[in-house]
Chain A
């Protein structure tokens, strides 16, 4: 009997230790996030001012200056990426949802996941080879296209998921009323799923907004004010990168401020996405 009691005691101790390890893992996993936020706030907020958003970068040694061109560049790139990624992604998602189970849909779904896992630098050199090399110069268009291509699989999969949860009866009702299939899909099914699709699109935009690697050889960056789509264009992530690896303290603090703005932009987009889902799908229960 003593043996059993000892075993039981040991089992209880092992149990307590392992459960404590899980709690520890959870704490440890969240710590880096907290540190990163604290440092971003501490080191970034000092350089944030009105000038940061409205002025151009100054050469080394001159005080002040801002990242107006990088901020506008990032917004332009996001717009271009959405113009490429959203229609193709939503269309492909509709196909995946409507042809569910067909061989072609299964294949496309599989490849879409593979595409989603491709390193962004690979997308960068592809866009360079495809869009920059033939033209002979870097351009905002090439950068936007690279980011847009990265959005396609993300948007396609969320569209498929959102269209999938629209009740079949809704579409059938429209068909029964004599709606042609294409109008049923676009005006009834897609519209019902639109809140979820918008959320998915925003999540995809939030993810590509901070991408740097695909822009290195496409949008390239620009020290000057440029809104031209055929010229190289500045972007916040590129600017953060070049300031971070520079040897100047004043540029380092600009990099922190830029990172803070970039993170704020990403979180605002994600927050809108979350709110949009919650208000429309309030009965869904969430995850």
Chain B
């Protein structure tokens, strides 16, 4: 900004036309920086608007039922009773399954790409993993209904339950219908894998070479150098990636809605159908008959909003500290 102003002083005595042009430039500068500031402020404004619109629409329900409705399971919207507990439970459980399955795989892939893979293999494999993030949720759902569910129903679920006798744990018991918490968790695992993998890979590639070389020079095997020198260095970034994946899993809607079975009950078995906050919204929102029901759904949406904002803020903070 200093340059045009100095120019104005220098040319004050000169030709009026030039002065006008330079003053015009100063106005242009002001308009320009005003415009980009306005566009930038759209982002915080949008977040505030989302919080305000959803929060105020959900307020009647929160006010009437209190935060107790988050822990209640009485789901009878017609009677004006509403409990979000099964949906919250399902959101948490399906996300945990997703992270348990996806995290080791994602870290494995990124270690393969950063430590083992020959240069020519790095880009194609990395590209393929990234492609997983480009597939729309609804296509995962479609694939899940017609490919994953039959496979789960026939060999996988009976195998877990009867052959491995895991039904005694309570987690893998009951009839194997197909649509279930397990199915939702598996599809979520595939969907969050690329997010965790891409952050981990980035963080691992940022670990200085000297870190590895020092460990190898001390006689460590490659695995020992990874375990002792590379992973500790990259740890908080990888944790950030996992939490980013958690944020995705918590709010994922279509694939989960198509595979989880949409039953608002809390069941111990992962073979039983369940519900998540996002699938609750997707299913019931357009059918909400009363204002009370609608407000309760908005309250669920507001809780989902708050949770994902917090989770993403933590992930952002962790990943950024590394960079």
| Bound Cα distance A113, B312 (Å) | 8
Is B206 among interface residues, defined by CB-CB distance under 8 A? Answer: no
Q: Is A229 an interface residue (CB 8 A)?
A: no
* A92 contacts B36, C-beta separation under 8 Å: yes
CB-CB under 8 A from A89, the residues of chain B are: 39
Cβ–Cβ < 8 Å partners of A108 in chain B: 40-41, 43-44
One digit per residue, 1 when the CB lies within 8 angstroms of any chain B CB and 0 when it does not, for chain A 98-124 equals 110000110110111111111111111
A136 to chain B, nearest CB (A): 14
Query: In the complex, what residues of A have CB within 8 A of residue B143's CB?
Result: 35-36, 39-40
Contacts of A91 in B (CB 8 A): 35-36, 38-40
Q: Assess whether A23 is interfacial by the CB under 8 Å rule.
A: yes
Most buried by B among A22, A33, A105: A22
Contact B39 A22 (CB under 8 A): no
List the A side residues contacting B44 at CB < 8 Å: 107-108, 111
A207 at the interface (CB under 8 A from B): yes
Q: How far is the CB of A257 from chain B (nearest CB, A)?
A: 11
Kindly provide the distance from the CB of A264 to the nearest chain B CB, expressed in whole angstroms. 11
Given known contacts A26-B108, A26-B112, A245-B258, A266 and B282 CB-to-CB distance under 8 angstroms: no
Given contacts A15-B222, A39-B143, A122-B50, contact A92 B43 (CB under 8 A): yes
Whether A19 contacts B46 by the Cβ 8 Å rule is: no
| CB proximity of B119 to chain A, nearest CB, Å | 12
Question: 1/0 contact trace for B290-310 toward A, CB 8 Å?
Answer: 000000011001001100110
Which partner residue on chain B sits nearest A239 by CB separation?
A: B138
How far apart are the CA atoms of A33 and B190 in the complex, in Å?
Answer: 9
Q: How far is the CB of A287 from chain B (nearest CB, A)?
A: 8
Listed A/B pairs (25) with beta-carbon separation below 8 Å: A11-B224, A25-B109, A29-B129, A29-B193, A29-B197, A30-B129, A36-B140, A92-B40, A98-B36, A114-B309, A117-B308, A118-B308, A126-B53, A180-B28, A181-B32, A182-B32, A182-B33, A185-B32, A206-B134, A207-B134, A210-B136, A212-B253, A213-B278, A216-B285, A217-B286
- Whether the Cβ atoms of A88 and B222 lie closer than 8 Å is no
Q: Mark B112-145, 1 if CB is under 8 A from A, else 0.
A: 1101110000010110110110111111111101
Cβ of B105 to closest chain A Cβ, rounded Å? 5
Contact A87 B39 (CB under 8 A): yes
Contacts of B304 in A (CB 8 A): 119, 121-122
Taking a contact as CB atoms under 8 Å apart, the answer to whether A22 and B112 are in contact is: yes
Query: Which residues of A lie under 8 Å from residue B105 when comparing CB positions?
Result: 25, 28-29
Return chain A residues, CB-CB under 8 Å to B248: 117
Looking at B1-9, B160-168, B207-215, the stretch in contact with chain A turns out to be: B1-9
Which residues of chain A are within 8 angstroms of B138 by Cβ–Cβ distance?
A: 210, 212, 237, 240-241, 244, 259
B157 proximal to A (CB < 8 A): no
Report, nearest first, the 3 A-B pairs whose CB atoms are least far apart. Answer: A119-B251, A25-B108, A210-B136
B129 adjacent to A121 (CB under 8 Å): no
B289 in the interface (beta carbon within 8 A): no
With A122-B305, A122-B308, A244-B258 given, is the CB distance from A115 to B47 under 8 Å? yes
Min distance, Cβ B36 to any Cβ of chain A, angstroms: 4
Alpha-carbon gap, A262 to B142, bound state (A): 13
B142 lies within 8 A of A255 (CB): yes
Complex contact B308–A119 (CB within 8 A): yes
Chain B neighbourhood of A149, CB < 8 A: 46
Chain B contacts for A182, CB-based, 8 A: 25, 28-29, 31-33
CA distance A286 to B258 in the complex (A): 38
Min Cβ gap A32→B in Å is 5
Q: How far is the CB of A153 from chain B (nearest CB, A)?
A: 7
User: Chain A residue with minimal CB distance to B205?
Assistant: A287
B49 close to chain A: CB less than 8 A: yes
Known contacts A12-B221, A115-B43, A213 near B253 by CB under 8 Å: yes
Question: Given contacts A114-B313, A125-B54, A129-B54, are A153 and B43 in contact (CB under 8 A)?
Answer: yes
Q: What residue in chain B is nearest A176 (Cβ atoms)?
A: B3
Say whether, besides A30-B125, A87-B39, A92-B40, A240 and B139 are in contact (CB < 8 Å): yes
Interface check A183, CB cutoff 8 A: yes
Interface residue count on the B side (C-beta < 8 Å) = 96
A61 at the binding interface (Cβ < 8 Å): no
- Distance between Cα atoms of A175 and B298 in the complex (Å): 51
The docked-state distance in angstroms from the alpha carbon of A54 to that of B68 is 52
Residue of B nearest to A25 (CB): B108
Contact A213 B57, beta carbon cutoff 8 Å: no
Task: Produce 1/0 per residue, A197-231, CB < 8 A to B.
Answer: 00000000011011111001100100000000000
Interface string of B236-272 (1 = CB under 8 A from A): 0000000010011011111000100000000000000
Measured CA separation A246–B147 after assembly (Å): 16
The residue of chain A having its C-beta at the shortest distance from the C-beta of B114 within the complex is: A22
Q: Is the CB of B116 within 8 A of A152?
A: no
A76 beta carbon closer than 8 Å to chain B: no
A214–B44 Cα gap in the complex (Å)?
Answer: 20
Asked if A75 is at the interface (CB within 8 A of a chain B CB), the reply is no
A18 & B139 in contact (Cβ 8 Å cutoff) = no
**Is B42's beta carbon under 8 Å from chain A?**
yes
Binary CB contact string for chain A from 245 to 256 against chain B (1 if under 8 A, 0 otherwise):
100000010011
Chain B, Cβ-Cβ closest to A17:
B223
CB of B47 within 8 A of CB of A117, answer no
Contacts of B278 in A (CB 8 A): 119, 121, 213
Contacts of B308 in A (CB 8 A): 117-119, 122
Cβ of B26 within 8 Å of any chain A Cβ, yes or no, is: yes
A198 to chain B, nearest CB (A): 18
Q: Which residue of B lies closest to A208 (CB)?
A: B136
B62 at the interface (CB under 8 A from A): no
